Amino acid sequence: MYPYPGWRRVIFVAVLVVVLVIALAPSITQGTIKVHIYGLTNRGVVDHLYVKFSNLQLHTYGFGSNVGWVNVTETTPIIDLIPVTAQFLPQIVASAQITSGKYDAIKLFMTNSTALIGSTHVSLSNTPTLSANFALPITPNGFGDVLLLVSFDESLVLANPAALSVQVVQTSVV
């Protein structure tokens, strides 16, 4: 039998419940993530390569590859993957509030890709997905920046039918 009075048991159970809720509850704090992209291909035959991203997903560290993906709902601007000579800073694809924690991968789904060759607009039918792995902790009320350096295959853009192949060359996180 328990030798202490009943009111002590109630306090013990209440403290135990509070500790378990704090330990097992999901994080509800928020941080901010910014995703930047910079094209490494210089202006050549293709003057501009405009892409828009339809969806952005971040993978939560510690989950399997099929689960743990967080959708970032943010309207993304149209990005030119051929940087202007005077453009020193990479373009921001998305800036959004996300749950604080550690993230280890990103997926960017493209849509509406168009190349400008001289004065001709070429619609690119396929929409590749960019993906990269990294380690990025987002602290409560903190910030995280992801920079993706990408390049594309110019010969596929000039092919008939035109296609787009973009790959991540380097990923940097801060």
Q: How far is CA 92 from CA 54, 56, 59, 81, in A?
A: 14, 13, 19, 12
The residues spanned by each domain of the chain are 29-173
For residue 5, what are its two tokens? 């009075």
Q: Give pLDDT, residue 1.
A: 60
The total of other beta-carbon atoms located within 10 Å of residue 37's CB is 24
Q: Which amino acid is at 168?
A: V
Determine whether domain 29-173 maps to CATH 2.60.40: yes
Mind listing the pLDDT tens digit for each residue in 2-16?
Answer: 677 778 888 888 999
Average of pLDDT values for 75-88? 82
Q: Which residue has the tokens 């378990």?
A: 20
Average of pLDDT values for 47-68? 91
Q: What's the pTM value of the predicted model, to 2 decimals?
A: 0.79
